[in-house]
Amino acid sequence: MPAPAWDDFVDQAAILLAVVGVAFPSPDRPLVAFSHVSLAAEPGQFVVLIGPSGCGKSTLLRTIGDLLSATSGSVAVFGNEPQRARLDRRISFVFQDATLLPWRTVLQNVRLPLQVGNWRHTGRPSRKPEEMIALVGLKGRENAYPHQLSGGQRQRVSIARALVTNPDILLMDEPFGALDEITRDRLNDELLRIWREVGTTIVFVTHSLSEAAFLGEKVAVMGTNPGRLLEVIDLTSRKADNQIDRSSNTFFEITSELRDVLLRAYGDADK
């Protein structure tokens, strides 16, 4: 039996990064955000990117969403250029700040993705905005304006907005970074519930060890100076059905393991 061809592997992966790097032009020499990152995400997988500030994790996320172009290596989303996936509306993005339009109500904000771009011409099935609002637990607040909501609620709305196009890939850039820890834990619980329900591929950027340990099926640890991938840790064998109790020993072990990888990178930087 022949070995599976590289092309098949590329086609089957939701996201495939091969020796990807991003450098920004600057007067003296290019400013390298990160380089040599190779990583794959299977359809429906929950991948977490964790690393200290300045390791390029947000930049990496933006190359997958075609908000930035990689300057080296190749990024493939469902076997194609990220631009193709973006224009086909297969990608949604959740930003660090909720980025809701303040003149639109919750319902109008969630409807926005179906009203702009080429949505009607994509022929993709949408989800009902009302159902997405219920899914994120905001039933009854459809007609509220963003300034009438709490930070956590606003971020829920932005998740509902991201899901309304039924995306194949959901990119999340430290979405709960500005929230208090209790709210963050609760939203993490709900995010996993939503992920199970909608079955989309998620790439989630964070700098919180416990968030990474709790959410990820696969955790990619990145280091800084220069921005690079340190290690990819597969947690599927240790988290049945990607569920874990925050007070369990396993959770503690995973968190410590992630911390060790990060600390080693800090040690390198000090040398």
Partner 1 sequence: MSRSAQGWFWPILGVTSLLVLWQAAVTFFEIKTFVAPSPVAVIGAIWENRSILLDNLGPTALEALSGFALGNSVAVILATVFIHSQTLRRMYFPAVVIFNTIPIIALSPILILIFGLTVTSKVIIAAIICLFPTLVNMIRGFEAVTPSELELMRIMAANRREVFFRLRLPRSLPFLFSALRIASTTSVIGAIVSEWIGAQKGIGVLIIQSTFEYRTELLYASIVMSSLLALTMFGAVALVEFLIVRWRVN
Binding site for partner 1 (CB under 8 A): 62, 65-67, 86-87, 89, 91-93, 95-97, 99, 101-104, 112-113, 115-119, 145, 147
Helix (H) or strand (E) holding 9: helix 6-12
| Residue pair 112/104 in contact by the 8 Å Cβ criterion | yes
Nearest distance, CB of residue 57 and partner 1, angstroms? 16
Q: Toward partner 1, which CB reaches closer, 77 or 221?
A: 77
Q: Toward partner 1, which CB reaches closer, 52 or 117?
A: 117
Nearest distance, CB of residue 170 and partner 1, angstroms? 11
Burial class (CB in 10 A: 0-12, 13-18, 19+), 47: buried
Q: Toward partner 1, which CB reaches closer, 177 or 226?
A: 177
Q: Toward partner 1, which CB reaches closer, 95 or 251?
A: 95
Q: What angle do CA 123, 125, 128 make, to 5 degrees?
A: 135
Six token digits for residue 162: 């991201």
Number of helical H runs and strand E runs in the chain: 10, 9
Q: Toward partner 1, which CB reaches closer, 91 or 160?
A: 91
Nearest distance, CB of residue 131 and partner 1, angstroms? 19
Nearest distance, CB of residue 253 and partner 1, angstroms? 36
Nearest distance, CB of residue 223 and partner 1, angstroms? 25
| Residue pair 168/200 in contact by the 8 Å Cβ criterion | yes
Q: Toward partner 1, which CB reaches closer, 145 or 251?
A: 145
Six token digits for residue 221: 């640890």
Which one, of 212, 227, 186, lies nearest residue 53 by Cα?
Answer: 227
Nearest distance, CB of residue 66 and partner 1, angstroms? 8
Burial class (CB in 10 A: 0-12, 13-18, 19+), 164: buried
